[in-house]
Amino acid sequence: MDEFVSRMATQRYVLNAVNSKITSNEELFGLSSNAIERWAIANQLGPKSELVRLLRQVSSELFFMATHSQEPVSAEYELRRQRIVDSVSALENAV
Amino acid sequence: MMHIYAFGSVCRGDISFESDIDLLALVNGRDLRLDPDKFSIYSYERISELWRAGNAFAWHLALESKLIYSEDGRDFIHDLGMPSKYVNAADDCRRFREIFEAALSSVKKGTPSLVFELSTIFLSIRNIATCFSLAKLPNPTFGRDSARKLGSRSIPLTDATYSILMRARILSIRAMGDDISKENTSKIIDELENCRFWINKLCKEVGANG
């Protein structure tokens, strides 16, 4: 459950970073693939957008953690945890 | 090995135009064919752990899931029997109350991510209602209307505000629907402040205030 709270906090952090710094036609509603796709279209960001790529990366890592976080800690789990930190940092620089 | 189940509203027959179909995939290890946006993906080991722990999600699946595909012809979930007794209501409700408070605080501060925060508030009240019902009521209630199906303990929110919270959830997860106007935020905040009494009352009943 603490992992769940932690993932919610990470989502909030990323969404606020994007929504507070980017003047857009529509806010980013969430980090699901559908929400990212809608936001990219609303803001005319193409498939080559670095920001969209980073958002998809964070989203992918968070979803992985959501379904695997309670399993015995593996090397991949730790690697992905670090990837989230790195992706969020890169995303902050990109916005 | 793979088993696929439907669960939630489609199994209750409680569908609406906005209803999604919740799908659970049980697999061994990673399976790149499965889109995590479409499936809740669990290993057999993990789902068995949830059963032994009497986890709320295990109860949801035990009571509201239907087998769609079985690679070995067996019904894995049915074969698990019923989960252990649900004993985590106090902890679960306490944590979802924390999540509610964090989201409400963000809304009050004028968050730039209003839809996400309202979606989070919806998630927290729905789950508090579900956990409460699992612990205290003869018939547990799951799904989007769980907070409104608690009889005399149902959530004191107007239909309009409940609907906005539900729309936010659909927008945040499925990106469907119109954006939510920020004009009514102050009215929503007033109602959500009142929700605190409801949350604390339910939390008290399950022993989460101690």
The model's pLDDT over B17-41, given as tens digits with 9 standing for 90+, comes to 777 789 999 998 777 788 877 888 8
The reply to whether B187 and B93 lie within a common domain is yes
Six-digit token string for A18: 């994007």
Residue B31 near chain A (CB below 8 Å): no
- Cβ contact, residue pair A34, B42, below 8 Å: no
- Say how far apart CA B102 and CA B120 lie, in whole Å: 9
- Say how far apart CA B132 and CA B130 lie, in whole Å: 5
- Cβ contact, residue pair A1, B43, below 8 Å: no
- Cβ contact, residue pair B112, A19, below 8 Å: yes
> In what helix (H) or strand (E) does residue A95 lie, and over which residues does it extend?
none
Three-class SS string for A23-67? Answer: CCCCCCCCCCHHHHHHHHHHCCCCCCCHHHHHHHHHHHHHHHHHH
Domain that holds residue B136: 89-205
The reply to whether B73 and B94 lie within a common domain is no
DSSP annotation of A71: S
Query: Residue B176: its chain A contacts at CB < 8 A?
Result: 34
**How confident is the model over A53-88, as pLDDT tens digits?**
999 988 888 876 666 544 444 555 566 767 777 887
Average model confidence (pLDDT) across chain B: 92
- Say how far apart CA B208 and CA A14 lie, in whole Å: 30
Which of B80, B108, B123 lies at the terminal end of a domain, its last residue? B80
ipTM value, please give it. 0.86
The reply to whether B116 and B62 lie within a common domain is no
Q: How many domains does chain B have?
A: 2
What's the pTM?
0.90
Q: Is the pLDDT assigned to residue B146 strictly greater than 90?
A: yes
- Would you state the pLDDT for residue B201? 96
What CATH number is attached to the domain comprising B133?
A: 1.20.120
